[in-house]
Amino acid sequence: MNLLLGALTLGFILSLVGLGVWVSFRIFKVADITVDGSLTFGAAVTAALVVGNGTNPLAATLAGMLAGMLAGTVTGLLQTRFKIDPLLSGILVMTALYSVNLRVMGRSNVPFLGKPSLQTWCEELGRAVLGAPSVDVFGWPVAAGDLAVVTLAGLAAVLVGSVLWWFFRTDLGTAMRASGDNAQMIRALGADVERYRILGLALSNGLVALGGSLLAQYQGFADAQMGIGMVVWGLASVIIGEALTGAPSLGFSIVGTIMGSVFFRELVAIALGFGLNPNDLKLVTAAFVFAALVLPSLLGRGRAQEVRP
Amino acid sequence: MSARADDSPAAVEAMVRVRGARKTFNVGSPEEVRPMQGIDLDIPAGQFVIVLGGNGSGKSTLLNGLAGTFRLDEGTIEIDGHDVTRWPEHRRASLVGRVFQNPFSGTAPMMTIAENFALAARRGRPRGLGWALNAPFRDELRDRVRGLRMGLEDRIDTAIGALSGGQRQALTLLMATWIEPRLLLLDEHTAALDPKSADQVIALTDEIVSSRRLTTLMVTHAMQQAVNLGDRILMMHRGNVLHDVSGPAKRRLRVDDLLARFEDVRRRELLDEGAAALLERSYV
Ligand SMILES: Nc1ncnc2c1ncn2[C@@H]1O[C@H](COP(=O)(O)OP(=O)(O)OP(=O)(O)O)[C@@H](O)[C@H]1O
Ligand SMILES: [Mg+2]
């Protein structure tokens, strides 16, 4: 039970990463590997501020998110102003971020060591609200702190999902979607497509870094390696989500990504419970995304992708 | 309106003023082309101009130059009294509405009809955090789309990519004119359609352009369209305006006359460059 609860919490936290990847992959149609670096960037900035500086955890989390937006902006500038291939832009920024992250952290791993973080705040809140160190859930003892953490992680996912749903239905957000769908058209309608792309990638990587910051606080440390393979993991969430909901609309696509993230984490937890070697996890994830990308067209009932001249 | 003192009255009325426009693509390479070789053009407000010419004569380049897809090498462009020579494409969109040849180009296929129109309704205006769609807009949209008589008013929430080319071109035309453009550019916007859809879209074009007296440039290869529509014909050849016919002369023009002029151009193609230039100077 505790294993599944932990997986649920992770699923919610990483759904922010999934939503970030959803923005770059579904709106701009690029698999933006900046994600692998910006996730760690968010975690590193938050950890360095909290541990080294005693910064307020909320401010440190926000700073982590801003760091990710900065990384996304750089990738966006490489893609637009310097006309570098989107994939290569992401690779460049991700590689550069590896050094930046080590600089920010000062070493390759920074533990929080019980310093006040959003994690410890949530745990205290849980104990205060429930008035007991643990409660029974369907006959299983669950720590009050864990319950509070999973609830707030879920709320964060729902909140971010709602904000995205709202944003992409505003004038600005609709134009951003169009700039990924048909740049020629929206340029002729007066939108500065390059600016929208930069803005969108900043948004995407900001969400990813926010997820990274929360992940670091949840697991109690930031690590230079923690971002590796995260873009593939985010893609898995997006794709599973579309399979689960059919993604007939924007809202379903967003909800689906959160569901996909949670669903996949639970699957992983169960597989690990049955003895899957954690070292094989990334291989399994990559194989899974491959299968999810290829199977629909093999089965001949692929969702009609964009129609392009 | 331009307030410059030296403007002659006729020039002040011009919605579009092109002076000495030149453009060379692929400079210095064997593929160097000069689709604009010093074009001067005045288009009075409300004039409907048909642009004719052979393949590669520079028709699309003229329209793209007005829309700002590229910067001129030399020359100036004024639209509605604004010197837009250095404006990027997205800025000129506040003055210019466009329909492209390819039905896929003018609409965002994954987005709904309503969303596409919401984008068009903010052409050249700032885009903020207000809802893109609301009930009054949807009602107005349904009304205007009903006017197309294509039965699309009940489908405004379907992805526009699911529609036929003709339907998409008709919608794109409606989108381009949702906010009245100071200049409407139509580049062979019926060329990719089957004859029936093409006729439908041409009829719609005539209706919109004449009823609202929009200043329009329309490129076409269909001589019959050129004869039936518009107030003026420009015939392009090798980056120049070779013939410019308007007024009563345009109204008298028949398909045979146009074909004769094309034949004339074709014969000149056989002459060497120097002779052609000489002929051109005395001809134009
Ligand atoms: N962006 C560009 N880059 C390079 N060459 C270009 C560009 N735009 C146009 N050209 C070239 O300029 C010449 C004129 O092209 P343009 O598209 O204006 O012709 P057109 O009159 O519209 O012909 P068509 O009837 O085939 O559409 C062609 O040789 C074309 O290849
Ligand atoms: Mg053309």
- Parse chain A into domains and list their residue ranges: 2-225
Q: Where residue A285 falls among pLDDT bands split at 50, 70, 90?
A: confident
Report yes or no: B120 and B179 within 8 Å, Cβ to Cβ. yes
For residue B105, which amino acid is it?
A: S
End-to-end CA distance of chain A: 52
Report the amino acid identity of residue B148: L
- Identify the pLDDT of residue A289: 85
Pairwise pLDDT comparison (B33 vs B271), residue with the higher score: B33
| Average pLDDT for chain B | 89
SS3 B22: strand
Q: How confident is the model at residue B253 (pLDDT cuts 50, 70, 90)?
A: confident
Lowest-confidence range among A162-171, A272-281, B152-161?
A272-281
| Residue A268 parent element (H or E) | helix A250-273
Which residue, among A234, A255, A233, has the nearest Cα to A244 in the 3D structure? Answer: A255
Q: What is the pTM of this model?
A: 0.89
Q: Is the pLDDT of residue B137 over 80?
A: yes
One-letter amino acid at B166 equals G
Nearest-10 Cα torsion for B228, B233, B236, B239: -140
Atom of ligand 1 nearest to the CA of B219: 22
Residue range B230-256: mean pLDDT, rounded: 89
- pLDDT surpassing 50 at residue A306: no
Q: Which residues of B touch A182 (CB under 8 A)?
A: 104-105, 107-109
Which residues 6+ apart lie within 8 Å of B104 measured at CB?
Answer: A182, A307, A308, A309, B168
CA distance B114 to A70: 34
Query: B75 — phi, psi (to 5°)?
Result: 100, 175
pLDDT of residue A301: 52
Phi and psi angles of residue B185, each rounded to the nearest 5 degrees, phi first: -115, 120
Q: Hey, which CATH number is domain B14-95+181-253, 3.40.50.920, 3.40.50.300, 3.40.30.10, 3.90.280.10?
A: 3.40.50.300
Q: What is the rounded CA–CA span in Å between residue A197 and residue A77?
A: 9
For ligand 1, atom 25: residue with the closest CA: B55
Cα–Cα distance for residue pair A97/A105, rounded to 1 Å? 12
Chain A closest CA to B105's CA: distance in Å?
Answer: 6
Contact criterion met (CB < 8 Å) for B128 and A309: no
DSSP for residue B221: S
Q: How many CB pairs under 8 A join A and B?
A: 101
Q: Which residues contact B23 (CB under 8 A, 6 or more apart)?
A: B34, B35, B36, B61, B65, B70, B72, B73, B239
Identify the pLDDT of residue B282: 66
DSSP B112: B
Q: Which ligand is nearest to the CA of B71?
A: 1
Distance B60 CA to ligand 1 centre (A): 6
Residue to substitute in B34, B39, B61 for testing ligand 1 pocket (most ligand atoms within 8 angstroms of CB): B61
pLDDT above 60 for A305: no
Is residue B193 helix, strand or coil? coil
Backbone phi and psi for residue A143, each to the nearest 5 degrees, phi listed first: -60, 135
The string of pLDDT tens digits covering residues A2-31 is 788 999 999 999 999 999 999 999 999 999
Band the pLDDT of A300: cuts 50, 70, 90: low
A228 close to A87: Cβ distance less than 8 angstroms: no
Q: What is the pLDDT of residue B270?
A: 65
What would the pLDDT profile of A41-70 be if each residue is shown by its tens digit? 999 999 999 999 999 999 999 999 999 999
CA of B80 to the centre of ligand 2 (A): 25
Residue A307: pLDDT band with limits 50, 70, 90: very low
Beta pairing, strands B183-187 & B96-99 = parallel
Residue A128 near residue A225 (C-beta atoms within 8 A): no
**Relative to the CA of B53, which ligand 1 atom is closest?**
21
Contact (CB<8Å) B122/A189 = yes
* Residues contacting B60, CB < 8 A, separation 6+: B187, B188, B219
Calpha distance B48→A222 (Å, rounded):
66
> Which of A169, A173, A182 is opposite residue B109, by nearest beta carbon?
A182
One-letter amino acid at B244 equals: D
